[in-house]
Amino acid sequence: MDRRHFLRTANLAAISAAVSGCARKTSTVFNPALNQAALAPVNLPESACHIPPVRVAEDRVIRTVVGLRPYRPSGFRVEREQVGDTVVVHNYGHGGGGITLSWGTAKLATDLGLKGHTGPVAVLGCGVVGLTTARMVQDAGFSVTIYTKAMPPDTTSNIAGGQWYPATVYEDSDKVSASFTDQFLTAAKYAYERYQITTDPRYGVRWMRNYSISRTPIADRRTEGRPRIVSGLDSLLPERRLLRQEENPFRIGYASQYDGMIMEPPMLLNALITDFRIAGGKVLGRELKSPAEVQTLPEKLVFNCTGLGAKALFDDQELTPIRGQLTFLLPQPEVTYAAMFEDAYMFSRHDGILLGGTHEEGNWSLEVDQATVKAKLAKHAELFNSMKAC
């Protein structure tokens, strides 16, 4: 499901209308029951009436980046496989939900791989999925080496938007398997609570109000009749409600709101790799090109977190890129919210105002498309130029 599908099909119950060694650190155990911990305080607006608009203009553009989401129509793959004398646990194919689901699928993967294992462990890949998996393996008491082609800031994860929502993870909510639905919801709920106790400011995690805007009235539908993989996320969207027209500053149409988290990828990835190294982890720059090469590693438990790289490495022909392009405007510290409108979305981050909404399946190009830049600027300008205090 991607943000466009979310905008079309979600409702009040799911919010309608919306891709470094030092000494070993003492291990900590995460308890999902401890969900009372608060993130760094942030002033969420009581009313949307006076939120400031984003100033959208070509001369405010500071950069545009392109990334390829590692997408599998059937959903991410978390699975154990015997490859010769090596156990490989796959953890890849998260689409646009890598940051969102990372801690959750890391938990699924380590539960599959660590039981009964002794000795060192390898992780392939140094994006957010690889790093969170490596940190969970370390916290279980194992020595970990990451083998990777690229390290932060040069990973796909560094290019992600960072909003907490598992978007563009699977193709059709009516067709996913029951077993995948269970994995998906378990991972989403674990990751949601894990991020809530990530209180260290170095990680760049904070709460943010989200507004979904539609030109047509937003239906107040309930959970009945919706697939479990969709309705199961309802409890992870707090403070969700429709805005009355007298409190809606988005004069272009109708709006709903909910409170969510945003993770700033440059900060998050830097904190993860720093903590990995502090805990004694090693990172080796090595690209593995075949299962036979994986078997030559000294570690006999390997977590495969290579994202789109798994297409060639393990011949996963279902994997395909979904190209995303993000344009950043100059930062506006007074803008402390996110907004989703049709095929466009805006997140406010410390490193700039992020404008996104590109989903091009099967497109491998990493070149910036200037026509897309202009189109996204125009769409966001249409939204924010319509705003008026209410």
Domain ranges for the chain, please list them.
Answer: 3-17+49-385
What is the spatial distance between Cα 116 and Cα 192, in angstroms, rounded to a whole number? 28
What is the spatial distance between Cα 344 and Cα 376, in angstroms, rounded to a whole number? 7
At residue 35, the pLDDT reads 34
pLDDT higher than threshold 70 for residue 255: yes
Measured N-to-C along each axis, helices 98-113 and 128-139 cross at an angle, to the nearest 10 degrees, of 40
Higher per-residue pLDDT: 122 or 28: 122
Q: Assign domain 3-17+49-385 to its CATH superfamily.
A: NAD(P)-binding Rossmann-like Domain (3.40.50.720)
At residue 248, the pLDDT reads 96
Q: Average pLDDT, stretch 2-7?
A: 44
pLDDT tens for 61-119 read 999 999 999 999 999 999 999 999 999 999 999 999 999 999 999 999 999 999 999 99
At residue 379, the pLDDT reads 98
What is the spatial distance between Cα 312 and Cα 192, in angstroms, rounded to a whole number? 31
At residue 323, the pLDDT reads 99
CA torsion, points 329, 333, 337, 341, in degrees to nearest 10?
-20
C-beta of residue 323 within 8 angstroms of C-beta of residue 68: yes
Residue corresponding to tokens 């593995």: 288
pLDDT higher than threshold 50 for residue 7: no
Proportion of the chain above pLDDT 90, given as a percent? 83
Helices (H), the chain: 3-9, 98-113, 128-139, 178-196, 228-231, 265-278, 291-295, 310-313, 370-385
Torsions phi, psi of 200, nearest 5?
-65, 120
At residue 220, the pLDDT reads 61
Neighbour count for residue 46 (Cβ, 10 Å): 8
At residue 28, the pLDDT reads 32
At residue 258, the pLDDT reads 96
Closest-CA residue to 253 (of 387, 52, 375, 348): 387
pLDDT tens for 30-49 read 333 333 333 444 555 567 88
Confidence of residue 18 (pLDDT cuts 50, 70, 90): very low
Proportion of the chain above pLDDT 70, given as a percent? 87
Higher per-residue pLDDT: 25 or 174: 174
DSSP-derived secondary structure for 10-71: --TTT-TT-----SPPPP----TT-TT---S-----S-STTPPPP---GGGEEEEEEEEEEE
Torsions phi, psi of 248, nearest 5?
-105, 110
What is the spatial distance between Cα 165 and Cα 8, in angstroms, rounded to a whole number? 15
What is the spatial distance between Cα 125 and Cα 89, in angstroms, rounded to a whole number? 13
CA distances 259 to 185, 284, 369, Å, are 19, 39, 32
* Residues paired with 301 in a beta bridge: 87
Q: What is the mean pLDDT of the chain?
A: 90
Higher per-residue pLDDT: 162 or 22: 162
At residue 222, the pLDDT reads 55
What is the spatial distance between Cα 283 and Cα 215, in angstroms, rounded to a whole number? 49
Question: What's this model's pTM, rounded to 2 decimal places?
Answer: 0.88
What is the spatial distance between Cα 148 and Cα 133, in angstroms, rounded to a whole number? 14
Q: How many residues does the chain have?
A: 390
pLDDT higher than threshold 70 for residue 352: yes
Closest-CA residue to 324 (of 371, 369, 362, 357): 357
pLDDT tens for 204-221 read 999 999 999 999 998 765
| 59 burial type by CB count under 10 A (0-12 exposed, 13-18 middle, 19+ buried) | exposed
At residue 281, the pLDDT reads 99
